[in-house]
Amino acid sequence: MNNKIAAVILGAGKGTRMKSDLPKVMMPVKGKSMIKRIIDTLEELKADEIVTVIAPDGDLVKKEVAPYKTCVQNEQLGTGHAVNCAKDLLQNFDGAVLVVFGDTPLITKETFMKSVQKVREGYAVVVLGFEPDDPARYGRLKMKGDELVKIVEYKDATDEERAIRFCNSGCMAFDGKYLFKILAKIGTNNAAGEYYLTDAIEIARQMGLKCTAIKGNPKEVASANTREELAMLESYLERK
């Protein structure tokens, strides 16, 4: 594997819970849109390719991320489907591919680099985890030593699994050689009928590939779906 880094930013979400006409990733945190903050960090990381997945009416986002490439997710069919929209642009990419949610603007260059490093060590999928004060309804990361066995969604978790405090932030890193092969095997056998990116762990393991998770700072991996959460991100940035 070479030392290249690509990133896929998922930026097709609507800002409905923000009570705004702006796409969610365009909401400002201390005067700068969430997605611009992510791009700035990826530039610090010297990412070779940055692709943003946008909605069909995502012209504002397209302008915000220019000159970087965008691809359109015509239907919202889940996170796995969103990443797969970048296939034409990245299918021959040989290096680590970060998958970043456009509403998590505070993840640092150092944290992204830790994920990339694990990919370079031979892990096909690396999940950024965290231990929140209240694990609430987050997906749980089931570890066996250094190996990540699977991500269990809260609603599907047993009591024993719900007791796990290590949770999924959503951000992942993949070995580019395997990313789209893994995505091609994700199905929609779930209550929502969507392609879940979290299924990548079990699929990669079935393919004989190694998966792991690293621990991030809960404040850093925080996302914003509401204006209250946006305000929390701002206050964390101010304290930092």
d(C-alpha 15, C-alpha 182), whole Å: 30
Three-state secondary-structure class, residue 162: helix
188 CB-side CA count, 13 A: 9
Distance CA 47, CA 5 (A): 5
Q: Name which of 203, 207, 172, 204 is nearest 187 in CA terms.
A: 203
Active site (annotated) includes residue 17: yes
User: Distances from the Cα of 172 to the Cαs of 60, 191, 226, in angstroms?
Assistant: 26, 23, 23
Q: Which of 102, 111, 134 is nearest to 214 (CA)?
A: 111
Contact of 177 with 1, CB cutoff 8 Å: yes
Q: Report the alpha-carbon distance of residue 118 to residue 141 in Å, rounded.
A: 17
Of the residues 17, 37, 120, 162, only one is catalytic, namely 17
| Residues noted as catalytic | 17
